[in-house]
């Protein structure tokens, strides 16, 4: 529902009544007015903007996971008490689901990266947009989270496959794909492989060195020390959701900056794809020194 748009289906009295049924702790800060917006959004999703009969509306609310909906509402608003409960109760489920979905393909990062989206990383019209705003309570929150993780994993697979085209626009196998397949079959290697990896390593090292001390420290804690979000948060005086959000922001910025830097070196789209492919096949970089550079100063630094 757009900001400022008055609820059409759900009265404040209805919202207050269902909020009381959910037995929501006061420290979550979920007001009837805020819950009214959440219930309205869910009802509009169910009834497609067609005003339902009062009894149908009540029947619909009766099948919702009301407490989960209230928790998502509180977390979307950034309430710390609600976030503490969410992390405590749902983090183990997220990790189990990520392992089941991604296998050995870095399930911890798949699960942890979701925190940033759930807290809300992007803003629209000055309002922080949380992924929780898309939870309508029609399933358990844990079920919805598993579905989101699965979709993120599929999106990543599709994204990576887009960097490995086998056919051109006419449906013919591209010359580049033919060379790569032939080289793989013969056991030979691309003579440019070393140059591409050297360029990528130099670019990444320079960008890591340009990060703020605290951004570099978060990366070091997560990727080098392999600490959990909770452990990083305690060391840096940040909430887990904040750690996740800032890690995701740093990763996103680095990806964009790497691509821009490689394009400045006049690499073509095909050469960019090869850089990424070779790095994925066998990560040859030891970035420990780059990430730990300035680590001693970072603890006293402030964002």
pLDDT at 210: 87
pLDDT for the residue numbered 187: 37
Least confident of 85-89, 174-178, 236-240: 174-178
Between the two ends of the chain, the Cα-to-Cα distance in Å is 33
Give residue-wise pLDDT tens across range 59-98.
999 999 999 999 999 999 989 999 999 988 998 888 888 8
pLDDT at residue 184 is higher than 70: no
169 pLDDT band (50/70/90 cuts)?
Answer: very low
> Which pLDDT value is given to residue 74?
94
The whole-number pLDDT of residue 36 equals 94
What is the pLDDT of the chain when averaged over all its residues? 77
- Count CA atoms closer than 13 A to 232's CA, side-chain side: 26
How does pLDDT run across 285-298, given as a tens digit for each residue? 556 656 655 444 44
> Is the predicted pLDDT of residue 218 greater than 80, yes or no?
yes
The answer on pLDDT for 2 being more than 50 is: no
Residue 296 confidence (pLDDT): 47
Question: Does 225 have pLDDT greater than 90?
Answer: no
Q: Is the pLDDT of residue 131 over 70?
A: yes
pLDDT at position 73: 94
- The mean per-residue pLDDT over the stretch 180-184 comes to 38
pTM above 0.75, yes or no: no
């Amino acid at each position: 529902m757009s900001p400022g748009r008055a609820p059409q289906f759900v009265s404040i009295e209805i919202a207050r009544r269902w909020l009381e049924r959910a037995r929501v702790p006061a420290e979550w800060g979920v007001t009837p007015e805020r819950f009214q917006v959440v219930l309205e959004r869910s009802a509009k999703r169910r009834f497609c903007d067609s005003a339902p009969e009062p009894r149908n509306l009540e029947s619909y609310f009766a099948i919702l996971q009301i407490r989960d909906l209230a928790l998502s509402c509180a977390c979307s608003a950034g309430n710390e008490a609600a976030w503490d409960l969410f992390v405590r109760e749902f983090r183990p489920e997220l990790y189990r689901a990520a392992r089941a979905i991604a296998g050995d393909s870095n399930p911890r990062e798949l699960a942890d990266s979701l925190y940033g989206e759930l807290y809300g990383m992007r803003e629209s019209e000055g309002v922080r947009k949380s992924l929780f705003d898309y939870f309508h309570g029609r399933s358990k929150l844990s079920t919805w989270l598993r579905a989101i993780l699965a979709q993120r994993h599929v999106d990543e697979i599709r994204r990576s496959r887009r960097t490995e085209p086998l056919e051109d626009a006419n449906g013919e196998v591209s010359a580049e794909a033919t060379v790569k397949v032939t080289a793989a079959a013969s056991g030979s290697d691309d003579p440019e492989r070393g140059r591409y990896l050297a360029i990528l390593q130099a670019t990444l090292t320079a960008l890591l060195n340009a990060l703020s001390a605290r951004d570099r420290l978060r990366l070091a804690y997560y990727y080098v020390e392999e600490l959990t979000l909770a452990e990083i948060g305690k060391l840096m005086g940040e909430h887990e959701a904040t750690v996740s959000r800032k890690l995701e922001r740093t990763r996103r910025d680095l990806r964009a900056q790497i691509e821009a830097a490689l394009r400045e070196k006049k690499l073509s789209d095909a050469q960019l794809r090869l850089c990424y492919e070779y790095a994925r096949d066998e990560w040859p970089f030891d970035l420990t020194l780059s990430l730990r550079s300035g680590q001693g100063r970072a603890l006293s630094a402030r964002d």
